[in-house]
A and B are shown apart, each in its own frame.
Chain A
Amino acid sequence: MATNTNRPTSPHLQVYKLPLTGIISITHRMTGVMLSAGLILFVYIVSSVAGGATSYTAMQELMSVWLVKLIYWGFIYALFFHLCHGVRHLIWDAGKSFDRDTLNRYALIELGCSLVLTLLTLILTSE
């Protein structure tokens, strides 16, 4: 297809100071990409369950390395963040809550909820 590459460009992202809603918006996309990559970890875990007791123990050992644990909890937080902002997107899709006050209030609620859900998971699974 004929595409004219010699077109004027408008001022790009770097000239703007992103508002909170903008930061959350790009974070939603970044967490989405990271969670997608994290699915490989899920396939590894479920495969090691299928592989029998030996591979299961090896998987548990690997998952208890602190760096892997950090990645795991990063995944859980990213999951809750993506879920909370996803709910927000569904509300937007219904044509609601586009005014500025609601935008900023919901942004804070999302951040709070994702943090609380992560901490709750941490507490409930630590016994």
Chain B
Amino acid sequence: MDYRSPLARVRGLGSAKAGTFHWWMQRVTAVALIPLSYWLITFLNLSLNAPYQHTVEWLATPLNTLCIVAWVLAVFYHAALGLQVVIEDYIAAEGIKIVAVWTVNLSFLLLALAALIAVFRTLLIG
């Protein structure tokens, strides 16, 4: 049931478009990221300190590949969702706001793809 007047509907007033889904996915990705942080930190520690072959072999182990890929998917989604809220809170001008949200979303999609491609390229080595 939609109680908005025809004029309000045309102006786009009233309930947001996909607010609940946005909020919900922020929580779902947050919960996923809690255990996956372990794999991130292990990976970072190896990358910064371990010999090359060691890091490659670690990443090529099925469970580690799975968890790092899952972390990448969850974290870039989570970051884009979060930054969108920040932008919407501080930027009032409608045009700049939309451009900023699009820029963030597309940038993080691109970064996520870059990270995934790098993981898969490493598998080819390992």
Interface on A for B, CB 8 Å cutoff?
1-2, 29, 32-33, 35-36, 39-40, 42-43, 45-50, 52-53, 56-57, 59-60, 63-64, 72, 76, 79, 83, 86-87, 89-90, 93, 121, 125
Closest to A45 in B: B47
Question: Are B41 and A46 touching (Cβ within 8 A)?
Answer: no
- Interface 0/1 of B6-43, CB less than 8 Å to A: 00000110000000000000010011011001001101
Number of A-B contacts (CB under 8 A): 92
**Residues in A whose Cβ lies below 8 Å from that of B43:** 46
Question: Are B59 and A49 touching (Cβ within 8 A)?
Answer: yes
B1 within 8 A of A: no
**Residues in A whose Cβ lies below 8 Å from that of B117:** 50
**Size bin of chain B's contact surface:** 35 or more
B11 contacts which of A1, A42, A50, A93 (Cβ < 8 Å)?
A1
Minimum Cβ distance to chain A for residue B78 (Å): 9
- Interface 0/1 of B113-126, CB less than 8 Å to A: 01101110110010
Closest to B47 in A: A45
B48 within 8 A of A: yes
A33 contacts which of B41, B44, B83 (Cβ < 8 Å)?
B83
Question: Are A60 and B48 touching (Cβ within 8 A)?
Answer: yes
Docked complex Cα distance between A56 and B111 (Å) = 19
- Interface 0/1 of B55-78, CB less than 8 Å to A: 110010000000000000001100
**Residues in A whose Cβ lies below 8 Å from that of B33:** 83, 86
Interface on B for A, CB 8 Å cutoff?
11-12, 27, 30-31, 33-34, 37, 40-41, 43-45, 47-49, 52, 55-56, 59, 75-76, 79, 82-83, 86, 94, 108, 111, 114-115, 117-119, 121-122, 125
